[in-house]
Amino acid sequence: MLLDRSRTGRSGRRDRDDPIVNRWALLAVPPIAFLVAFFLIPLIVVSLRSVTDFPRPAGDALANYGRFFDSAANVRVLGNTFWVAALSTVVCLALGYPYAYLMNIVRPRLAGLLLIAVLLPFWSSLLVRTYAWQVILRDTGIINTFLLDMRLIDEPIPLIRTTLGVMLGMSQILLPFMVLPIYAVMRRIDPEYTRAAANLGAPPFAAFRRVFLPLSLPGVLAGSLLVFVLALGFYITPALLGSPKDTMISQFIASAVQQRLDWGIGSTMAVILMGLTLTVLFVASRFIRLRDVFGSFEES
């Protein structure tokens, strides 16, 4: 099915009777087997452990969930996770939309360069990038040293271990996931629409606001959803660049499992995070077609 898109167009119907195409479908078996073995099964194991694995003998199956919600710290961190994810989404959108717009209006060659620039972060590991931000942001880092040397400030301004630091680190990593879906949608907007708007008397900004922006909204929603969902699971960046106040739920999961060896509560937190993420996706799916989000590059 996936492989045959280009041949059968959108209907994708013909391939069912076509033996040659069905043989190609066998290619999908290894990845599916991989996903089942290393993703689906562990997921089931984790879900089961959240209702069976207790540090001391406990009463009902939902004891771990009770434990989780009894702790105010847990709930606060959960809330903070959503707050940080929302904030990163807003930051990525504010940076990503104009960036995608720029890519869309410049010559193809320059657009290619801009595309490479936004993909650059993918070429180094997340850890390396996050440590690089540390070098830049810490009290003895590049920015503070420079400002101190210039005598613009008397003592280091707090950059690292702040929400600002977390935002910088996270949005750099997440920006491509915002830019690419928006750009893909923008490229599919027929420039004739903007011309028609101008022809009907719309000055450039009105044409943008009334015609181009609404037509690019599917990309905005897709990118925002992608960034938000990815941000919910962030862990290393807030740990290295944020303050304890910026702790996210994934860090709690890691410390529960690795330091306290409390697999029960770790699994519980994982299931809660997953449940909330699925809820977000479900609510979003009422407004947009999820296929557009995760398949947004296929047609561009």
Binding site for another protein (CB under 8 A): 190, 192-193, 195-204, 206-207, 210-211, 214-215
Instruction: Kindly tell me which of 99 and 212 has the beta carbon lying closer to another protein.
Output: 212
Least separation in angstroms between residue 199's CB and another protein is: 5
* Contact call for residues 289 and 272 (beta carbons, < 8 A): no
Instruction: Kindly tell me which of 195 and 289 has the beta carbon lying closer to another protein.
Output: 195
* Contact call for residues 235 and 254 (beta carbons, < 8 A): yes
Least separation in angstroms between residue 206's CB and another protein is: 6
Instruction: Kindly tell me which of 59 and 201 has the beta carbon lying closer to another protein.
Output: 201
* Contact call for residues 121 and 99 (beta carbons, < 8 A): no
Measured CA to CA, the distance from residue 64 to residue 266 in angstroms comes to 9
3-state SS record for the chain: CCCCHHHHCCCCCHHHHCHHHHHHHHHHHHHHHHHHHHHHHHHHHHHHHHHHCCCCCCCCCCHHHHHHHHCHHHHHHHHHHHHHHHHHHHHHHHHHHHHHHHHHHCCHHHHHHHHHHHHHHHHCCHHHHHHHHHHHHCCCCHHHHHHHHCCCCCCCCCCCCCHHHHHHHHHHHHHHHHHHHHHHHHHCCCHHHHHHHHHCCCCHHHHHHHHHHHHHHHHHHHHHHHHHHHHHCCCHHHHHHCCHHHCCHHHHHHHHHHCCCCHHHHHHHHHHHHHHHHHHHHHHHCCCCHHHHHCCCCCC
Instruction: Kindly tell me which of 179 and 207 has the beta carbon lying closer to another protein.
Output: 207
Least separation in angstroms between residue 52's CB and another protein is: 51
Least separation in angstroms between residue 218's CB and another protein is: 10
Least separation in angstroms between residue 217's CB and another protein is: 8
Least separation in angstroms between residue 200's CB and another protein is: 4
If one counts every other C-beta atom within 10 angstroms of the C-beta of residue 107, the result is 8
Instruction: Kindly tell me which of 16 and 195 has the beta carbon lying closer to another protein.
Output: 195
Tell me which residue of 136, 159, 131, 132 sits closest to 146, measured CA to CA. 136
Least separation in angstroms between residue 201's CB and another protein is: 4
Instruction: Kindly tell me which of 197 and 256 has the beta carbon lying closer to another protein.
Output: 197
Least separation in angstroms between residue 214's CB and another protein is: 5
Instruction: Kindly tell me which of 189 and 274 has the beta carbon lying closer to another protein.
Output: 189
Instruction: Kindly tell me which of 103 and 211 has the beta carbon lying closer to another protein.
Output: 211
